[in-house]
Amino acid sequence: MRAWTQVPPQQGRRFVITGSNGGLGLETARILGSRGAEVVLACRSVAKGAAAARTVPGVDKGRVEVRQVDVSDLTSVRAFAAGLVADGRPVDVLVNNAGVLGVPHAVTPEGVEMHFATNYLGHFLLTQALLPILTDRVVVVSSREHRSGRIDLDDLGWRRRPYRPFQAYGDSKLADLLFMRELDRRFRAERMPLRAVAAHPGASATAITSGSGNPVVTAVGHYGQRLVGMPAWRGALCTVYAATMAVPSGTYIGPHGRSELWGWPAPARMSRKADDEVLARALWDRSVELTGALDLGTPTRS
């Protein structure tokens, strides 16, 4: 497989990247900034975002901006999106990157477990809210672990089941891919000139387990990924590829190597569950109920 690092020039294009004060999000921003893009770092902590922004190429030319959003908080998502829409400027690409892994059990005011709220539901609302100003595509960052997902739409808060954080993570990443595929179907049904695509970073060395609250889980995630994983910038290339290359809507990108753990960007394998149109429609409808988002059409089913 040929190494891919030749990102096309991105001058004049504006990207919004959630969870971009560190890890894959920050590396994505750095790569895009180095190619001339305008980048909005959408971060829960403005202070951390400002420190991260200083490392993004183009910050000295006014091409890097930091805005506050907590994607697990739907009120925060609405305020963030409203600010971008009020700017009157288009957003070419939305990168739904922010995520948590292995966090203790907690639920949002909507009764949704925190992995599902952060990794999926907040991004569902953000995407819907930014549709009026999006010009090119939505990129959803998923995971190989979506293959373990089993979404229970009647127990999104894990009230009836014994809580298993890594299962909850897999569920949220399955939701991400179901969302991407359903969004693609709706874009096509509505004849909207937008694309929905997804990517995953394989095994990449990031600090995603730092919020686990469990020192063993945090340490294993921290050192294990550094021992066997790619550098974060290599994992971020899959997101950048999905965000910048002429890929068809509905595409899923991941590392090309064995089990999609390492390598250069290439088409990735989706589980059969991730392409379940019935489940995707049910998830969409439930997400509209939970977020109050305006519904985007209903594609004709074959």
List phi, psi (to 5°) of 195: -120, 145
Looking at residue 229, what is its pLDDT?
67
103: left (phi over 0), alpha (psi -120 to 50) or beta: beta
**pLDDT over 50 (residue 292):** yes
| Catalytic positions | 169
Domains contained in the chain, CATH given: 14-286 (3.40.50.720)
Q: Residues 182-203: what's their mean pLDDT? A: 96
Residue whose C-alpha is closest to residue 103's, from 240, 221, 8, 264: 221
User: What confidence tier does 230 reach under pLDDT thresholds 50, 70, 90?
Assistant: confident
List the strands of the sheet with 195-199, edge to edge: 64-68, 38-43, 14-18, 91-96, 134-141, 195-199, 252-255, 265-267
The model's pTM is 0.92
Q: Taking all residues of the chain, what is their mean pLDDT, rounded to a whole number?
A: 92
Looking at residue 203, what is its pLDDT?
82
Q: What is the greatest pairwise CA distance in the chain?
A: 52
